[in-house]
Amino acid sequence: MPLALVTGATGFLGWHVARVLNEHGYQVRALCRQPGRLRELDAEPVAGDLRDPASLRVAVQGCQLLFHVAADYRLWARNPAEIYDSNVKGTRNILDAAEQAGIQRVVYTSTVGCIGVTNGSVGDEETPVSENDMAGHYKRSKWQAEQVALEKARNGLP
């Protein structure tokens, strides 16, 4: 079975992604700052931080899949640069590492806050949206990170 790296596996969504991968027979490697939080998962913990490119290069080695689920989801921070460092620079760092390692497939997780506002219809990834529509540092940083992921995909990252 392929080896999948999951970022954010100690968080709510990432934990569930890793669990579903386990249920489908995938080997899971979990990038985490606190490996003890990998409760009830069959996952290989790997210490790392999205802001540390060297740790990410180690984490992706031997993986075929990357599920990038981690994010700094604080709606407020004394120093908003921390949110951008994790979400925007961190996304670029992990995608760069995946590209260099020859990862076969990347799944990037954004946020519903990056979907444009509609006139009463259901919004989706085709709904027009701009950075000016993003209220707050979390949404703005996730929108910027999504642009990084889209750029990488346009340039051939699978």
Reported as a single tens digit per residue, the pLDDT across 105-151 is 999 999 988 888 778 888 887 888 888 888 899 999 999 999 999 99
In terms of Cβ atoms closer than 10 Å to its own Cβ (0-12, 13-18, 19+), residue 111 is middle
Domain range annotation of the chain:
3-154
The Cα–Cα gap between 156 and 69 comes to 20
pLDDT score, position 19: 95
Q: Which of 26, 84, 108, 138 is catalytic?
A: 138
pLDDT score, position 115: 86
What's the first-to-final CA gap in the chain, in angstroms?
19
Reported as a single tens digit per residue, the pLDDT across 29-86 is 999 877 777 777 899 999 999 999 999 999 999 999 999 999 999 988 999 999 999 9
What is the rounded radius of gyration, in angstroms, for the C-alpha atoms of the chain?
16
The Cα–Cα gap between 132 and 82 comes to 20
* pTM given for the model: 0.93
- Find the Cα–Cα–Cα–Cα dihedral 142, 58, 151, 2, rounded to 10°: -100
Q: Give φ, ψ of 7 to 5 degrees.
A: -90, 145
Q: Is 26 a catalytic residue?
A: no
Structure letter (DSSP) for residue 37: G
102: left (phi over 0), alpha (psi -120 to 50) or beta: left
CATH 3.30.300.130 matches 3-154: no
- Looking at residue 94, its amino acid is I
Reported as a single tens digit per residue, the pLDDT across 99-110 is 999 999 999 999
